[in-house]
């Protein structure tokens, strides 16, 4: 059995710390006596991976939060309550900019199906 405590720091382009998320997890594994090292390796990786995922869920669906909602692609985080100091709000696009972006890869907004991700 292994215990891991992970701290995930988020910085802006200038290197200023915007947020720190900390979490911990325990990983365990069993194996025959001839494979004790592999059991330790698996337990250690499981603990570290789970602790990191628990930190990253604070960052939204793009970092795997959807894994905790049966793999749905519908956004789990709709908005944040607080905006970190020093963040820049993107200005509204002009009609010309929108027209230019319409030909860009990924410019089409994806609207999730309301029934997507629900069990039958």
Using one digit for the tens of pLDDT, what is the confidence trace for 26-77? 999 988 888 999 999 999 999 998 898 888 887 776 666 665 666 666 666 6
What SS3 state is found at 26?
Answer: strand
Assigned domain for 91 exists:
no
pLDDT of residue 105: 52
Domain count, the chain: 1
Q: Which domain holds residue 16?
A: 2-78
Assigned domain for 26 exists:
yes
Assigned domain for 90 exists:
no
Task: Please tell me which residue, 37 or 112, carries the higher pLDDT value.
Answer: 37
Assigned domain for 88 exists:
no
Token output for 6: 């992970």
Assigned domain for 63 exists:
yes
Residue 5 β-bridge partners:
24
Assigned domain for 100 exists:
no
Assigned domain for 116 exists:
no
Please, which residues have CB within 8 angstroms of residue 64's CB and are 6 or more apart in sequence? 53, 56, 57
Assigned domain for 60 exists:
yes
């Amino acid at each position: 059995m292994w215990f891991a405590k992970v701290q995930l720091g988020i910085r802006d382009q200038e290197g200023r710390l915007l947020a720190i998320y900390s979490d911990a997890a325990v990983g365990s594994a069993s194996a025959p006596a001839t494979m004790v090292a592999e059991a330790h390796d698996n337990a250690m990786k499981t603990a570290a991976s789970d602790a990191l995922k628990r930190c990253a869920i604070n960052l939204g669906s793009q970092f795997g939060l959807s894994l905790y909602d049966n793999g749905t692609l519908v956004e789990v985080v709709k908005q944040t309550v607080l905006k970190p100091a020093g963040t820049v709000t993107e200005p509204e696009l002009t009609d010309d900019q929108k027209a230019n972006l319409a030909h860009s890869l990924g410019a089409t907004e994806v609207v999730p199906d309301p029934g997507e991700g629900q069990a039958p």
